[in-house]
Amino acid sequence: MSRYTAFAWLLAFGIVFQLSHGVEVNVTDKEDMLCLYANLNVSFSVSYEVAGDRNKTIEFTLPNEVTTDGSKCDTTSSTLKLNFGTGHSWSVNFVMNGKVYQADSITFSYNLSDSTHFPESLSNETVSVTMKPQITNVGVDTCYSCKSKDMIQADLVNMTLSDVLIQAFVSNGSKSENITSCSADQPTTPAPPTTPATSTATAAPVTNFTSTAPPPTTTPTPTLPTPTTGKYSIKSDNSTFCLLANFGLRIGIKQGEKYQEMNLEPNMTKVSGSCGVNSSELQLVSNTMTIMFTFTNNTTKFQLHALNFTAKTTSGVEFSEVNTNLSLWEAAIGSSYMCNKEQNYTITNVLTLYTFNLQVQPFGVTKDVFSTAEECQADAESFLVPIAVGVALLVLILIVLLAYFIGRKRNMATGYESF
């Protein structure tokens, strides 16, 4: 019994060890020279239909036993195809684009009649899904390296790449020592490239690349919950409130083809700022972002005039955007600005602000509470609908009453009894 356990452990460890090592393949061309190299881990999560109108989701990793039949190398395009199990395959298309190459698409085909991978599957078909990977701008004669996990999602399939080392368009039959790292692997601070020779990214900023690249894929971002409404305030020297701001905040940022959204968590946010005669500031600092709102007073009105946003994205890259020429959230001095409906504001072409249950008063706060609110257009419109409905109902009731009384009068006039 214990011997079997030990054996099972060894087996499990053996598999784990092999998995973390990655699947390594060499593709050779007609002259038997290396033309495509890959060493990577891929894990799949596949959802498929089973009896009773249900879906089952299973997970597995790319096994070590793969064949490369169907792979091919040409001068400007090449394909890596890894076949495994009974009729499953995973393939990537690479295209050369001047001084860089990229992975255009990843196609994953899976044979649902394989009952070891897909038990109880209703369908027995082979399904193919094609996805767009984020492997772009890889310098020619360099390996693409990405140790970080990269999840690619489709309707029924999620796949996660990790510890990826790939070189397409290998020249002279030997793998390059030079590496183009993915952005997720890059150090968090945009430090000057003082990295050792082996990791000098040669993916030069190729200006024409973008124009020839396919349109950015809008990767479906998981929808975030509505952000919690935070209540922020600043006190003046004499310890009365001089700035009040309530809102739920979501930030959308675009980095290349990636779009990412994050919510500001009020209970993890530090508030600071200052009130002036002509300008007031509110700074919110959370573990993920720093936002500075600058409000100005132009004698009769105030407005949000500048916004300075800094964050670290999930891939660890520093992100900073400033716009000092805004005219948002405008209201008369002595009142507050309010907008309960969700609003979005384009701050810069890569930064979008979403607000929920917004009310701000950066000047002239008295008695520590908001003054009369000036409401945004969207709120005003949503008020009109119930008013219109109310008025219509009232008119209807009047008509009915009128009809009733007229009817009664007539009945009385003709002498009928009426109840």
Ligand X SMILES: *[C@@H]1O[C@H](CO)[C@@H](O)[C@H](O)[C@H]1NC(C)=O
Sequence-distant (6+) residues with CB within 8 A of 13 are none
Indicate the residue whose CB is closest to ligand X.
87
The token duo for 317 is: 């890259």
Residue type, 265: E
Task: Report the candidate in 221, 283, 284 with the shortest Cα–Cα distance to residue 257.
Answer: 221
Burial class for 41, CB neighbours closer than 10 Å (0-12, 13-18, 19+): middle
> What backbone torsions phi and psi does residue 268 show, to the nearest 5 degrees?
-120, 20
Question: Is 314 a binder of ligand X (CB under 6 A)?
Answer: no
Question: Is 277 a binder of ligand X (CB under 6 A)?
Answer: yes
Rounded to 10 degrees, the C-alpha dihedral 8/9/14/17 comes to: 150
Question: Is 260 a binder of ligand X (CB under 6 A)?
Answer: no
- Closer by beta carbon to ligand X, 158 or else 233: 158
Task: Report the candidate in 230, 271, 261 with the shortest Cα–Cα distance to residue 359.
Answer: 230
Q: Residue 127 CA to chain centroid, in angstroms? A: 27
Question: Is 310 a binder of ligand X (CB under 6 A)?
Answer: yes
Which of 240, 272, 348, 382 touches ligand X by CB under 6 A? 240
Question: Is 119 a binder of ligand X (CB under 6 A)?
Answer: no
CA distance 50 to 387: 51
Q: Near ligand X by CB under 6 A, which window of 17-25, 39-47, 76-84, 183-191?
A: 39-47
- CB 144 → ligand X: shortest distance, Å? 13
State in Å, rounded, how far the first CA of the chain is from the last one.
Answer: 93
Sequence-distant (6+) residues with CB within 8 A of 282 are 232, 234, 243, 245, 271, 273, 292, 293, 295, 362
CA distance 127 to 151: 20
Which of 104, 141, 163, 281 touches ligand X by CB under 6 A? 141
- Measured from the Cβ of residue 305, the count of other Cβ atoms closer than 10 Å reads 21
- CB 45 → ligand X: shortest distance, Å? 3
| Residue list 279-298, contact with ligand X (CB under 6 A) | 290, 297
- CB 19 → ligand X: shortest distance, Å? 19
| Residue with tokens 């090592």, as numbered in its chain | 21
Question: Is 418 a binder of ligand X (CB under 6 A)?
Answer: no
Q: Three-state SS for 251?
A: strand
The site for ligand X, by CB under 6 A, has a size of 41
Does residue 230 contact residue 264 with C-beta atoms inside 8 Å?
yes
What is the 8-class DSSP label of residue 187?
Answer: -
Which of 43, 105, 126, 233 touches ligand X by CB under 6 A? 126
Question: Is 321 a binder of ligand X (CB under 6 A)?
Answer: no
Does residue 144 contact residue 134 with C-beta atoms inside 8 Å?
no
- CB 197 → ligand X: shortest distance, Å? 4
- CB 378 → ligand X: shortest distance, Å? 7
Question: Is 210 a binder of ligand X (CB under 6 A)?
Answer: no
Which of 14, 87, 214, 390 touches ligand X by CB under 6 A? 87
Sequence-distant (6+) residues with CB within 8 A of 283 are 271, 272, 273, 290, 291, 292, 293
Q: Tell me the DSSP string of 263-294.
A: E--GGG-EEEEE--SSEEEEEEE-SSEEEEEE
- Closer by beta carbon to ligand X, 6 or else 48: 48
Question: Is 67 a binder of ligand X (CB under 6 A)?
Answer: no
Question: Is 153 a binder of ligand X (CB under 6 A)?
Answer: yes
- Closer by beta carbon to ligand X, 263 or else 392: 263
Question: Is 75 a binder of ligand X (CB under 6 A)?
Answer: no
- CB 6 → ligand X: shortest distance, Å? 32
| Residue list 347-366, contact with ligand X (CB under 6 A) | 363-364
Which of 171, 188, 278, 411 touches ligand X by CB under 6 A? 278
Q: Near ligand X by CB under 6 A, which window of 40-48, 74-82, 167-175, 379-387?
A: 40-48
- Closer by beta carbon to ligand X, 294 or else 359: 294
| Residue list 179-208, contact with ligand X (CB under 6 A) | 197, 202, 207-208
Which of 18, 20, 86, 128 touches ligand X by CB under 6 A? 86
Residues that bind ligand X (CB under 6 A): 45-47, 57, 86-87, 111, 113-114, 124, 126, 141, 153, 156-158, 178, 197, 202, 207-208, 222, 228, 236, 238, 240, 265, 267, 277-278, 290, 297, 299, 308, 310, 322, 325, 333, 344, 363-364
